[in-house]
Structure 1
Amino acid sequence: MADWAPVLIGVVLFVLLSPGLLFQLPGNNRHVEFGSLKTNGKAVVVHTLIFFAIFTILILALRVHIYTG
């Protein structure tokens, strides 16, 4: 049986935390921008750190598992 939790959680977080898609922190003109579809280097770093923190908490600390088959 394969554990699909890291794959599914990673894909969902990647889509939701893509800078500029839903929100961007820090924005180009303001601290937080919503739906701007533009990004900058600072936002990429911040969203990467947020992704890593949430992914690590879900997979390692909470031990989320999704088995198929």
Structure 2
Amino acid sequence: MNNWAPPFIAAALFWLLSPGMIFQLPGKNSPFEFMNMKTTVASIFVHTVIYGLFLILFFIVLNVRLYI
């Protein structure tokens, strides 16, 4: 059986944590901005670190599995 949890969770986190999609940390004008659809190098780095930490949390610490 195939384990479909990793691709689904990774794709959802990638969509949600794209800088400027829902929030941007740090923003261009303030430390935290919502839905501005713009990005900076710093925000790309911060969102990459957050994305990686969430992937580690779901796949290694919580050991999430979904068999379809």
Q: Same fold (TM over 0.5)?
A: yes
Q: What is the TM-score with the length of structure 1 in the denominator? A: 0.96
CA distance in 1, matches of 2:63, 2:49: 20
CA distance in 1, matches of 2:59, 2:8: 11
Deviations 1:23-60 (A, max 9, x none): 00000010000000000000000000000001111111
Q: For residue 13 of structure 1, what is the aligned residue in structure 2?
A: 13
Q: What residue ranges of structure 2 are gaps of 5+ in the alignment?
A: none
Q: What is the TM-score with the length of structure 2 in the denominator? A: 0.98
Ranges of 4+ aligned residues in structure 1 off by more than 6 Å: none
Q: For residue 56 of structure 1, what is the aligned residue in structure 2?
A: 56
Q: What residue ranges of structure 1 are gaps of 5+ in the alignment?
A: none
Aligned length: 68
